[in-house]
Each structure stands twice: as C-alpha cells, then as structure tokens.
Structure 1
Amino acid sequence: MFVPESRLETEPARESMSSHASPMDEGAAGVEVLVTSPAPGDVTATDSAHQFIHLGRRKALLYHRRRIGDALILAVGEGLALLAALGLAYHLDLWLTGAASWPVWAWGFPVLWWGIAAFSRLLPGWGLGAAEELRRMTLGLVTLFVGTAALLFLAKQAETGRMLLAMGGPLALVMLPATRAFIKYILVRLNKWGVPVVIYGCNGTVKELCAALRNERAIGYNPVGIFHGSPELWGEKIWGIPVLGGLNQNTDEVPVALLIGEGLNKKLLEKLLDGPLSLYRRVIFIPSLPDSLPILGVRSCGLAGRPAFEINRELTDPVAQVIKRLFDLVFVVGTLPLWAPLIAIIALLIWLSDRKAPFFMHQRIGYKGRPIRVIKFRTMVPNAQEVLETYLEQHPEARKEWEENFKLKNDPRVTRIGKWLRKFSLDELPQLWNVLRGELSLVGPRPIVEEEARKYGDKFDLYLRVKPGVTGIWQVSGRNDTSYEYRVMLDSFYVRNWSIWLDLVILIRTIRVVLQGHGAY
C-alpha cells in the first residue's frame, strides 16, 4: 500500500488540480474533473450530446497539438542526422577515392524517411518500448537505403551515389537512433515530451502502473491524475499523482486515458467505455493477464468478432537462434582488436599486484543445466574463502546479506584493483572467450551457481531455456542495488520476451551502465 502524501480540497462534482499537478506534467494547470453521468432532468438529451461532442473535439485538438509538436521536433532532428550521415559518407568516399559525387536525390532522403517513419508510427512514437522502436527504425532505414539502391539499379544509374548508400546506410543506423534518444532525453528533462494521461482503475495495479510510467518517461505517457474505484483514496496521491475522483468522472483537459481492466467486471467496463471514456481521443486498455504472457512480440487481432492476442515465440524459431549466435560471433571477433589488448594489460596489472594468477575459473549452470566453467579476472585475495568465513563470523548482519544475494556490498576479499574492475564490470571481460566457445551469449541471464538455483523457484526452468549472458537485463536495471526476487523477475521477463532487438537495446544500455559504474560491487 502507498503512503498518502497530502489531501486535496475537493468538491462533489468539480475540482481543480492546478496546484497539485504532477511534476511530470507540462501544462497541467487548469485541468478540471467533471461528472460525465448527470442526473436525470439536469440537462436535455440535446444538451448532453452537445457537451460530449464539444469535450471530445477539445480532447482531440489537444492530442493532435501535442502529437504534431513532438513529431516535428523528431522529424527535424532525424532529417538533419540523416543528412549528416550522408555527408560523412560523402567525405569518407572523397578521402578514399578522391572523386566523390553528391547526387541531387540525396537531398530528398529526409522527406522519404519522414514518410517511412510516419507509416511505421515512429512520429512521435509514444508508447513504444526501446526494443520495438529500434526494430521499426532499423527496418525503416534498411527499406530506405535498399529501396533507393534498387530504384537506381532499375533506372540504370546504379553507379550514381553507390558509395554514398553503402557507407551512409551503416552510419544512419547508428546516428538516427542516437539522435532520437538524445532528443527524447532533452525533451523529457524539459518536461516537453509526451502527452498527459489519466489512469482509471480500482486496485493495486494502479500503483504499479504509476511507478512504471514515472520511471520510464521516454514512453511519452505522463500521468497527471487518477480516477479510482475506492472512495477512501479520493483526494490522496499515488506516486505524487493525485486521485481526482471516481470512475464515473472525467476531465476536459487530458486527451488520453489508460484503463486497467483488473478488478472490473464486463458490465462496468462497457459502462466506462460508453460513458466517461468515450470522450477521450485515445483509450489504452490494459487487460488482466497472467505474468507468463509475453509483452514484446504480441500482436492484437480480431478472431470471430472477438479481440485476441497473437503470441510470437521467438525462442522456438531456429532461424532466430542462428542469428543470435552469428551476432555473438561477429561482435566478439569484430571487436577482438579492442578487447584482447585490454585483457592483456589488466592481466599484467593483477599479476604485478601480488604475483598471483590473474584469472580464475568458476563453475556455473549453463544452457539446459549443463555445467560450464566461466572465466573471470581475479578480483579477490588468494585466501578469499578463509577471509570470508572469518568476516561472516565477526559480522552477523553481513551473513544475512550473503545468504540473500551471495554478494557483499563491502566485501573484505576484494583487492584494490579488484574494486576498480568490478565498478566498471571489467572483471567480466574474459567471458568473451566463453562466448566464442558457445558456452555463453553476449546477452542473457547472468550465469548462476548451484546454490542460487533454489532462489529461482518455479522460474528456474525458464533460466535453463537460454544461454547465460555476459550482460543481461538485470545488469542494466539496477544490478546489485536490487533484490534477488527482482533479478529473477527480470530474467523471466527476458526469456519470455526475447528478441534480437531486445538484445541490442540491452547491449546499448550496458555501455552506459559500465561507464557510470552504478550498482556494481
């Protein structure tokens, strides 16, 4: 349960949230709460219909204004990034061949990209997760460059701008997603990204959704109010978001509503959708579904006149698994000139510190339960086990931490150089050898020891379905600063929702986490 932060001054039918607006909301001042089910005799049927039409149009205009604003900023930024990628490719071609050319059609690339992005619903792309957004951008850019090359070939002008396309394509695949991420980051910091939303619900899922939206502001749905089915919560706040009233109420200043279906029967859902929710420009329905249902790769469809979900099981696709393995090999072999010298330097520094072996092997549980020996840099003193036993005997509070997480935040066994290696996760670098051997993947659940298997409970079977990884979703979601139960939940989510796009997002976020050094010890 949440702890109420403050009480709001309320009236039976209307209340202003201008002084209690969520810090996430931009332009929330003046948002009013309306009762959308007037008592009989209060207004005529014509007046009621006119009010509904007026409010609906007002919400639609607000929605389109915010949508067009965010879309224009992204379009301009990505258009400039695309021209920059082509310009860089032009200068590389000029440097390599000395005879580069800039075709006139290159100036039209931003316009073509805007069309593809709009068709792919990337402008502005509110509600898209990072993996889905990356997938759509990648496929869109591949379509743009390959399609242009095909048209030039058919027009018998294949030589025109050939190098520009060959080098500009890979550059665009890096620069456009980076530009979009940077623009969204700036807009989020300025409270200018996304659209205000209200949440309708009647149980604890409301709190979970509020927390998720507050922590993932790049999604673009900024909660400014809640309509809750529990009267005792009216006037309170959940995660700083005011509970404005009951489910039969509405607001005329917010164009999008999120409806949580859990705890609501079919009759009440129909009443809400035909009543207060009918005024919103967009309603996002969040049904009550089991945790085992994947979130990514699920498509809604109609079946025999009923809504249905199509689940795409990527893990069962042998082609996808081959692609994952090829990606591991290409990445590790391609970056060999970068990490091999670094491993040699770190190994030398460890050996010089105490003249002991710089590497150590540790047995872990691998794919399908097979035992694997994972290689790491040694970050502890040679007599680590003795030091641990002595320390746990002298510090009972540390024993509890060890038994819960098999880690200690202030571990007495860790050497000076070991602390530095762990802070930036460089102690894991030798595991790229395990990736080459096929024992690990670049991305996956972190390999665990036998003692940790019991902590997974009935989720241990999910762990066995994929290769453990050098990095994973746990590493980029707080790592050691989170509980072990949260780690199991994240690993289960990864297995159920695996895709090559999710792997790419995790790898990109790993770079940021490693540079920041958060949650590693």
Structure 2
Amino acid sequence: MNKVTLSKILLVCTDFISFFFSLFIALFWLSYFNNSHVYFPVDQVNNYIIIHLVTSFMCIMWFGTRLRHYTYRKPFWFELKEIIRTLLIFFVIELSIIALSKVYLSRILWGLTWGMLFILVPLLRVYVKKGLIVLGWYKKNTVIIGTGKNVKEVYNALNSESYLGFDIRYFVVSDSIQKDNIDGVTIISATELDLFSFLDINNLDTQFILALDDEHALDFWLRYLATHKCRSVSVIPNMRGIPLYGTDMSFLFSHELLLLRIDNNLAKPSSRILKRMMDILGALGIIIVLFPLFVLLYFMIKSDGGDAIYSHPRVGRNGKEFKCLKFRSMVVNSKEVLEQLLATDSEAKAEWDKDFKLKNDPRITRVGRFIRRTSIDELPQLFNVLKGEMSLVGPRPIISDELERYKENVDYYLMVKPGMTGLWQVSGRNDVDYDTRVYFDAWYVKNWSVWNDIAILFKTIKAVCHRSGAY
C-alpha cells in the first residue's frame, strides 16, 4: 500500500474519530453534573451511539463520494465551507432520525455533541494534513505546463495554498525564457521530444497542471499526457477578469463550448441587507468589547496636545465622499513635515508618488507606530460602519486623487462601500504594489459572498497578530 492510499485512509479515519470524540467529549463534560442521569439515561445512550454511528457513516460517505474530499485537493476555505454545509445537512438528518425513532435524548447532550463536531472535523483535518505533508505522505509531485507568465502565476497561487500539498517539481515552458529555474524549480523546454526522459518522477502519481492560452497547444498536451497514461491532469483556462465565485458551469452536448452563468451577488437586495446586518452587529460587538481600549488610547494620543481622532475625506460608494475616522498616529504638524520632506528628499517623493505611502514616515509618533503596526488606528472606523459609510470588509478606502489609478476597475470600486479590512490587507497589506491592490479590490467586488467576508475577517486577525506587511 503506497503513501497516497494510506493518506486517504487516515483522512477517513480522522473524520470518524471526530464524530466519536465529539460524543465522548459531550458525555465526559456532562458527567461532572450531579444529576448526570438526567442528561443521558443509560438505557438511551446505546441507542444514540447507534444513531450517531449511522449519521457519521452517511456523512463520511458524502464527503468521499459526492464531495471527493479524500481524493481531490481543495483550498482550505473552499473545503471548510463544504464541511460546514454538509455537517448542517446531517445535523438536521440526525435530528429527524431521533424524532422518528422516538428516542429520548437530552438536547444538551445532542447540542454539545454537534457543537464539538463543527470544531473537531475541520480542526483535526487541518492538523492531520499538515502532519502528512511534513512526513511527505500527502505531498504530490506536480508539473506545471504553460507559458512563462502562466506557470509563474500558477506557481505563486499554489504556493499560497500549502494546504493542497502540491510539490512543484518542474516547469514545462512553451515559450522562450532566459532562465533554467524559477525559485529553484527546474525549467524544461516544451520542445523536448521525449519529455518523460527528463522527469525523474512517476507519471502515474504526478499532478500535471496545464496553463496554456493556445487551444492547439492545450489539445496537444492533453493527448500527449493521455497516451502516457497520466491520470491526474488539471486545466487552468484563461478566465482573467471573469467572476468565479458562485459561477454555474454547463456545456453543450457534442460541442466544445463551456457556458458560465455569472451570479452578481451584490446586485441582490437580500445580499446587501445581509451584509449590512453583519456590519451593524459586528461593529457594535467590537465597540462594546474594546471600549476600555478606546478610552486608554484616546488619552495616550491626546497627551501631546493634538486631537486623538482625526478625519480625512475618502471616496465611498457611488463616488460620495465621507469623513473616514482614525486614531491620530502622526505629529500635529504632519502636513508641513510631509511638504518639507518631499521637497528635500527625491527618493521619498518618488515613493509617495508611487504608492501614496512612506515606509519610513518621519511624521509617525511612537504611539502611532504601534497602533499602525497592529491596525488599532483604524478602530474609530467602526463608527463609519455604523453610519453606513463603510463596511467591515470591502475595498481599501482611497482619496479622490487615486481614482484615476484604478482605470477601468474604478467602476467596481464605486459599486460598494470601502472596508475596514479587505483582500488587500490579508494578502501582504502595505507590501503589495498599487496595481496589485487595485486587482484585489476588483476581485473582491466581482466575487463577493458572505463566506468570503467571513474568511477575510479571520485572515485579518491572523495578519494583525503576525503584523505582516504593516507599517
């Protein structure tokens, strides 16, 4: 039995363990109550174990056969969404089985069991996969075939998802490139007559990813890999600029045509109402929890004689300007300091003209440097969120002078409210160049969903804790 098969078996066993540990933890927790027999009468526990066993078996079968979680590799947030959605379905199924079988069962026991299950299934899966990747069992040799630009783009995308376990071994490039490797990965010319004589890998267990724009080249490689009995082949079509989230795919029988139904989520009134509800509840919750911190920072910043909170005009939805609030992180005479710096330092002026930011900004105070590093300076924007001027998640709020730099993507920016955090912040924050920021903002609007907002909020917590890319 090879390592790949063992990895699949271990993942299946991990999910079974999650189902039984959830029940065991719930029983163990309730056993500390004096009247524990009230929560799980002994004569009914065995019945519930059988019901839970049946539910777990059906759920894991669904994971394996319908969603293919044990055979296909999916990005973490995509797989997590499928896990939660599936568990919700079987949560209802188990409730129905209990109701139909007329088994007396404590709601506390049942609720604790499923509450733990929603935590254990994704958590154990993540750690088991990470362990298997470290051992080399879950790593899959991968070859990317395409143009120089495409293979680099695919390489960067796959590297950002270490959860997938793809081990990039070779680039097979169809155009001329003046390198023999990219980040240590060997480049092979696609003109080689016998490609597999150059690859020291087993083509049966290797993942081949085709990133080719030319349809004739794509057809050639599909035939070539098929004749060499390559079983794991993926194609990345050229879909730059097309919204992908929630897109439905279909094809016309006997025709090589792919139909994509684009779903503009933000055009739906229900989506906007849901997003607004998330903003209000989220902002109120954060303000209540962090109110003591607000008071402390207010007096610390105000100690130098200036205002603790300042406002700056930003462009909002439909081009309407609003006053964006922030804790003051700069000296009181910051405008004069900036003008003098730009007039005397050509490098600083070039950096400012490029990104409207300075990495070593002399205007920032000692307290200001800390609150910027941790993004605490943006907490007053919670009141912008409550007023409906901003959202918790959205494009980066910009000044009017930056609109022209968005070019054709400015339409996407003006469709939504700016956000306190966004895709740009969790993808490197200030380390990414301006064009990449624009790309992230446009991608977010085109692919908006509640799930993406939730993912970005969790990624923001990680980015702030690691202080990655902030200055």
TM-score interval, normalised by the smaller of the two chains: 0.7 to 0.9
Whether 1:431 and 2:345 are equivalent positions in the alignment is: no
**Which residue number in structure 2 is paired with residue 30 of structure 1?**
none
- Give the match's secondary structure for 2:290: helix
Counterpart of 1:368?
318
Taking the aligned partners of 1:438 and 1:87, their CA distance within structure 2 comes to: 46
Equivalent residue letter for 1:68: T
Q: Does the C-alpha gap of structure 1 residues 85 and 465 become closer, same or farther in structure 2, counting only changes over 3 Å?
A: farther
2:209 is paired with a residue whose SS is: strand
Instruction: Give the letter for the 2:249 counterpart.
Output: S
Match of 1:458 among 408, 415, 428: 408
Aligned pair 1:346/2:297, yes or no?
Answer: yes
Taking the aligned partners of 2:115 and 2:317, their CA distance within structure 1 comes to 33
1:180 aligned to 102, 125, 136, which one?
125
| Residues 68 and 345 of structure 1: CA distance in aligned 2, closer, same or farther (over 3 Å) | farther
User: How far 1:313 moved relative to its partner?
Assistant: 2.5
Structure 2 unaligned regions, length at least 5:
none
Q: Which runs of 5+ in 1 are unaligned?
A: 1-60
- Show the 5 A alignment for 1:42-441: 65=2, 67-90=4-27, 98-99=35-36, 100-101=39-40, 103-105=48-50, 108=53, 110-121=56-67, 123-124=69-70, 126-157=72-103, 159-230=104-175, 236-246=180-190, 249-250=195-196, 253-254=202-203, 255-262=206-213, 264-266=214-216, 268-278=217-227, 279-289=229-239, 291-306=240-255, 307-310=257-260, 311-351=262-302, 353-441=303-391
Give the superposition deviation at 1:194. 3.7
CA–CA distance in 2 between the matches of 1:227 and 1:277? 17
Change in Cα spacing, 1:293 to 1:164, as seen in structure 2 (3 Å) is same
* Distance across 1 between alignment mates of 2:292 and 2:71: 41
Identify the structure with the greater helix proportion.
Answer: 2
Report deviation, 1:89: 4.5
Q: CA deviation at 1:343?
A: 1.9
Residue 123 of structure 1 aligns to a residue in which SS?
coil
- Give the superposition deviation at 1:320: 2.5
**What is the percent sequence identity of the aligned residues?**
31
For 1:296, give the aligned amino acid. Y
Number of aligned positions between the proteins? 452
Determine if contact 2:148/2:177 at 8 Å carries over to the other structure: no
Distance in 2 (CA, whole Å) between partners of 1:424 and 1:190 is 35
Matched residue SS, 1:204: helix
Q: Relative to 1, partners in 2 of residues 1:325 and 1:308: Cα closer, same or farther, differing over 3 Å?
A: same
* Aligned Cα root-mean-square deviation (Å): 2.8
Distance in 2 (alpha carbons) for counterparts of 1:78 and 1:338: 35
Per the TM alignment, residue 77 of structure 1 is displaced from its structure 2 partner at its CA by: 3.8
Partner letter of residue 197 of structure 1? Answer: T
Provide the C-alpha distance between the structure 1 equivalents of 2:416 and 2:119, rounded to a whole number of angstroms. Answer: 28
Q: CA distance change for structure 1 residues 391 and 203 in 2, over 3 Å: closer, same or farther? A: closer
Q: Distance in 1 between matches of 2:443 and 2:410?
A: 13
Report if aligned partners of 1:380, 1:418 keep a CA contact under 8 Å in 2: yes
CA 155–223 in structure 1, closer or farther in 2 if over 3 Å, else same: same
Cα distance in 1 for residues equivalent to 2:465 and 2:281 = 23
Is the partner of 1:357 in helix, strand or coil?
coil
Residues 69 and 453 from structure 1, CA distance in 2 versus in 1: closer, same or farther, beyond 3 angstroms? farther
Q: Matched residue of 2:395: which SS?
A: coil
Following superposition, the deviation at residue 197 of structure 1 comes to 1.9
Q: Distance in 2 between matches of 1:91 and 1:440?
A: 45
Once the two structures are TM-superposed, the CA of residue 362 in structure 1 deviates from its matched residue by 1.9
Letter in 1 for 2:98: L
